[in-house]
Amino acid sequence: MTTRILTGITTTGTPHLGNYAGAIRPAIVASRAADADSFYFLADYHALIKCDDPARIQRSRLEIAATWLALGLDTDKATFYRQSDIPEIPELCWLLTCVAGKGLLNRAHAYKASVDKNVEQGEDPDAGITMGLFSYPVLMAADILMFNAHKVPVGRDQIQHVEMARDIGQRFNHLFGNGKELFTLPEAVIEEDVATLPGLDGRKMSKSYHNTIPLFGTAKQLKDAVARIVTDSKLPGEAKDADSSHLFTLYQAFAAPAQQAEFRAELESGLAWGEAKNRLYQLLESQLGEARERYNALISKPADLEDILLAGAAKARKTATPFLGELREAVGLRSFRSQAINTAGEKKKAGKSARFVSFRDEDGSFRFRLLDAAGEQLLLSKSFADGKAAGMVNKRLQSGEALDVREQDGAFGVWLDDECVAQSPAFADGDAREAAITRLREALAPQD
């Protein structure tokens, strides 16, 4: 079985070396595993919560997209998209908002911290707090649950949000799943052995400390940043303690073990800090130089990046569109076209009958499924150019007219006027197929 790994990157800044070692590099490595099905996306709706500078949002989306691609994310294998290109996400966000407890969200760290700060300053508790900030975890739950992610790699500050996604998903399953797990409940993964890089001053590398080393600045910017790394004042020739030097920690994050040992020995035998910085610079340049060229090439062709991301969104929507159709169905936002069977079959207990689910395919065409009482798919219709045509076929299938069911390798099709209008999934054997045909006939039998 494949594991679906999903994570979002908020698009408010420019990636630095710490983001690379701590998040981007491990995510790209994970996406290459044979059993990985990775969904990585630019959380640009989330960015709007923190930032009201359109130019910065736009610049950051471009830079982050180019960074991941330049560093080797394979978009044939992974699904890479912008959150804002998936309209199903805000729609699901609303469905989840309607079941998420306000009390649950009151406990979210980010919201609580803002309230505490207001109270401390003698302000109204909610001063300056938007509904975006308050609902942030619900949007994040929609990101995760939309794609039924198993694993969500995040920083420690985000664990609570993934747990809220579990809570909200569980509640939705309970209310609308009819015994079925509509949503997979996700798990946060914190990679323990991933490098947390120190910044220039030795504190954690972070934009808010202004101590970052740029990932894809020019070679000169990289060199200048490395030159600003704070060291102790030991002179050339004096032994340096590698373990207490964050310059060494930075070196370690990018060097093979043998290289690390060699560098440590040199520091201990008195290598000058200036020379040590030069070694670190050379190491970083050797690892990032080529990627920087790819980055610059990508950034200079934003229209190509747009195409890549739109293709990623189309791929993601292949999952999101039909799944949202099922969820709408589950909460009672159903087509009136399938109403006929329900009123006619009122004797049947709600939730126990087969049902039609209509949806739009990613290419905009109209289709429907017929699910049996247990939620198993009996039929998937062909694509129809318009909803009316799909509705007509749907209606005829329910009209009680004799069904023309034809077997076709391992599956069966339903024919109307010499055209196959819907097909079953493939079955393990003939018995399973026969049993499904029986369920189909029962489901579509005229109601009296």
Q: Which residues bind to ligand TRP, rule: CB under 6 A?
A: 6-8, 10, 43, 46, 140, 143-144, 152, 154, 158
Residue 8 or 322: the one with the smaller Cβ distance to ligand TRP is: 8
In the numeric block, the tokens 């908002």 are attached to 97
Which CB sits closer to ligand TRP, 132 or 270? Answer: 132
Kindly tell me which of 71 and 371 has the beta carbon lying closer to ligand TRP: 71
- Decide: 369 and 377 in contact? Cβ < 8 Å: yes
Which is nearest to 394 in space by CA: 419, 376, 421?
421
Q: Which two tokens stand for residue 447?
A: 């109601």
Shortest distance, position 113 Cβ to ligand TRP, whole Å: 14
CB of 284 to ligand TRP, least distance (A): 25
- Dihedrals phi, psi of 406, to nearest 5 degrees: -125, 135
The Cα angle at residue 138 between residues 12 and 204, in degrees rounded to 5 = 40
Q: Where are the alpha helices (DSSP H) in 71-158?
A: 88-97, 102-106, 109-120, 131-146
CB of 140 to ligand TRP, least distance (A): 4
Q: Is the dihedral of CA 251, 214, 10, 110 positive or negative?
A: positive
| Nearest one of 147, 199, 441 to 317, comparing CA atoms | 147
CB 152 → ligand TRP: shortest distance, Å? Answer: 5
Q: Considering the complex, what minimum distance in angstroms separates the CB of residue 7 from ligand TRP?
A: 4
Give 83 or 173: the residue with its C-beta nearer to ligand TRP.
83
Q: Minimum Å distance from CB 89 to ligand TRP?
A: 9
3-state secondary structure of 419: strand
Residue 145 CA, chain-centre distance (Å), reads: 9
Burial 52-83 (b: 16+ CB within 10 A, else e): eeeeebebbbbbbbbbbbbbebebeebbbbbb
Give whole-number Cα distances, 249 to 21, 198, 199, 207, in Å.
Answer: 12, 7, 10, 19
**Nearest distance from C-beta of residue 92 to ligand TRP, angstroms:** 13
Residue with Cβ nearer ligand TRP (6 or 316): 6
Structure tokens at 224: 């200048």
Nearest residue relative to ligand TRP (C-beta): 8
Q: Say which residue the tokens 């989330």 belong to.
A: 46
Question: Whole-number minimum distance, CB 148 to ligand TRP, in Å?
Answer: 13
Query: Least separation, in Å, of the C-beta of 10 and ligand TRP?
Result: 4
- Nearer Cβ to ligand TRP, position 139 or 222? 139
| E strand or H helix at 104 | helix 102-106
In the complex with ligand TRP, the residue whose CB is nearer, 48 or 291, is 48
Least Å distance, CB 106 to ligand TRP, is 18
CA-based nearest residue to 135, from 168, 170, 184:
168
Q: In terms of CB distance, is 208 or 343 closer to ligand TRP?
A: 208
Contact between 189 and 158 under an 8 Å Cβ cutoff? The reply is: no
Q: Which two tokens stand for residue 29?
A: 């490595």
Q: Please, what's the largest Cα pairwise distance for the chain?
A: 97
Closest approach, Cβ 150 to ligand TRP, in A, equals 12
Which residues are registered as beta bridge partners of 358?
368
Q: Is the dihedral of CA 375, 377, 379, 384 positive or negative?
A: positive
What are the residues facing 198 on neighbouring strands?
A: 204
Among 391, 396, 383, residue whose Cα is nearest residue 321 = 383
Closest CA to 104 of 96, 92, 95: 96
CA distance 415 to 381: 11
To ligand TRP, the closest distance from the beta carbon of 39 in angstroms equals: 9
Q: Which two tokens stand for residue 146?
A: 């939309």
Given the complex with ligand TRP, which of 17 and 154 has the nearer CB atom?
A: 154
